Amino acid sequence: MSNAAAKVHPGRKVLQAGLLVVISGVLFVATRAVPEMHGGSGTIAAVGFLLLAGTLLSELVEIIGIPHLTGYLLAGILAGPHFLHLIDHRSVERLSSVNALALALIAMSGGAELKMEFVKKGLKSLAWSTLLQSLLVISLMTGVFIAARPLIPFAKPLTVSALAGVGLLWGIMSITRSPSATLGILSQTRAQGPVARFMLTFVMTSDVVVVVLLAIGLTLARPLIEPGADFSGGAFRRLGHEILGSVSLGTTLGIVLVMYMRLVGRQLLVVFIALGFGLTEVLRYLNFEPLLTFMVAGFLVQNLSSQGEKFIHAIEQTGGVVYVVFFATAGADLDVPLVKVLWPVALVLTGSRALITWGVSRLSGRVAGDHAMVRKWGWSGLVSQAGLALGFGGVVAREFPSIGAGFRALAIATVAINELVGPVLFKLALDRAGETSRAPRPSLPSIRPPPPAPE
Look at residue 7 and tell me if it is in a domain: yes
Residue 184 and residue 38 share a domain? no
Look at residue 440 and tell me if it is in a domain: no
> Alpha-carbon distance 110 to 207, whole Å?
12
Last residue of a domain, one of 43, 70, 95: 95
Residue 295 and residue 376 share a domain? yes
| Backbone CA torsion sign across 299, 300, 306, 307 | negative
Residue 109 and residue 210 share a domain? yes
Last residue of a domain, one of 80, 95, 110: 95
> Angle CA(40)–CA(45)–CA(51) in degrees, nearest 5?
135
pLDDT at 170: 92
Whether 387 and 180 have beta carbons less than 8 Å apart is answered as yes
Question: Which residue, among 255, 343, 329, 341, has the nearest Cα to 299 in the 3D structure?
Answer: 255
Q: How do the pLDDT tens digits run along the chain, 455 residues long?
A: 334 434 446 667 677 777 777 777 777 776 666 655 555 566 677 777 788 888 888 778 777 767 777 788 788 888 888 777 778 777 777 776 777 777 788 778 777 877 777 777 778 888 888 899 889 999 999 999 999 988 888 888 888 988 998 999 999 988 888 877 787 788 777 788 888 888 888 887 776 788 778 778 877 888 888 776 655 566 567 767 777 888 899 899 999 998 988 888 777 878 888 888 888 888 878 878 787 788 888 888 888 888 888 888 888 777 667 777 777 877 777 777 777 777 888 899 999 999 999 999 999 988 888 888 888 898 888 888 766 676 677 678 777 888 877 887 788 788 878 877 888 888 888 888 888 864 334 333 434 444 444 43
Look at residue 135 and tell me if it is in a domain: yes
Residue 161 and residue 69 share a domain? no
Look at residue 441 and tell me if it is in a domain: no
Residue 69 and residue 186 share a domain? no
pLDDT at 42: 61
> Alpha-carbon distance 337 to 30, whole Å?
25
Q: How many other C-beta atoms lie within 10 A of the C-beta of residue 267?
A: 11
> Under 8 Å CB-to-CB from 303, ≥6 apart: which residues?
114, 115, 116
Residue 103 and residue 88 share a domain? no
| Backbone CA torsion sign across 152, 425, 289, 91 | positive
pLDDT at 34: 62
Crossing angle (nearest 10°) for helices 290-303 and 98-113: 40
Whether 356 and 175 have beta carbons less than 8 Å apart is answered as no
Whether 421 and 383 have beta carbons less than 8 Å apart is answered as yes
Total structural domains in the chain? 2
Residue 17 and residue 105 share a domain? no
Phi and psi at residue 296, in whole multiples of 5°? -60, -40
SS (H, E, C) the chain: CCHHHHHCCHHHHHHHHHHHHHHHHHHHHHHHHCHHHHCHHHHHHHHHHHHHHHHHHHHHHHHHCCCHHHHHHHHHHHHCCCCCCCCCHHHHHHHCCHHHHHHHHHHHHHHHHCCHHHHHHCHHHHHHHHHHHHHHHHHHHHHHHHHCHHHCHHHCCCCHHHHHHHHHHHHHHCCCCCHHHHHHHHHHHCCCCHHHHHHHHHHHHHHHHHHHHHHHHHHHHHHHHCCCCCCCCHHHHHHHHHHHHHHHHHHHHHHHHHHHHHHCCCCHHHHHHHHHHHHHHHHHHCCCCHHHHHHHHHHHHHHCCCCHHHHHHHHHHHHHHHHHHHHHHHHHCCCHHHHHHHHHHHHHHHHHHHHHHHHHHHHHHHHHCCCHHHHHHCCHHHCCCCHHHHHHHHHHHHHCHHHHHHHHHHHHHHHHHHHHHHHHHHHHHHHHCCCCCCCCCCCCCCCCCCCCCCC
pTM (2 decimals)? 0.69
Look at residue 187 and tell me if it is in a domain: yes
pLDDT at 349: 92
pLDDT at 233: 61
Residue 180 and residue 37 share a domain? no
Residue 89 and residue 166 share a domain? no
Per the structure, the complete domain to which residue 171 belongs is given by 99-432
Residue 137 and residue 77 share a domain? no
Residue 107 and residue 13 share a domain? no
Rg of the chain over all Cα atoms, to the nearest angstrom: 22
> Alpha-carbon distance 334 to 76, whole Å?
9
CA atoms within 13 A on the CB side of 313: 8
Whether 208 and 239 have beta carbons less than 8 Å apart is answered as no
Look at residue 437 and tell me if it is in a domain: no
Residue 249 and residue 394 share a domain? yes
Question: Which residue, among 325, 344, 357, has the nearest Cα to 425 in the 3D structure?
Answer: 357
Look at residue 444 and tell me if it is in a domain: no
Look at residue 455 and tell me if it is in a domain: no
pLDDT at 2: 36
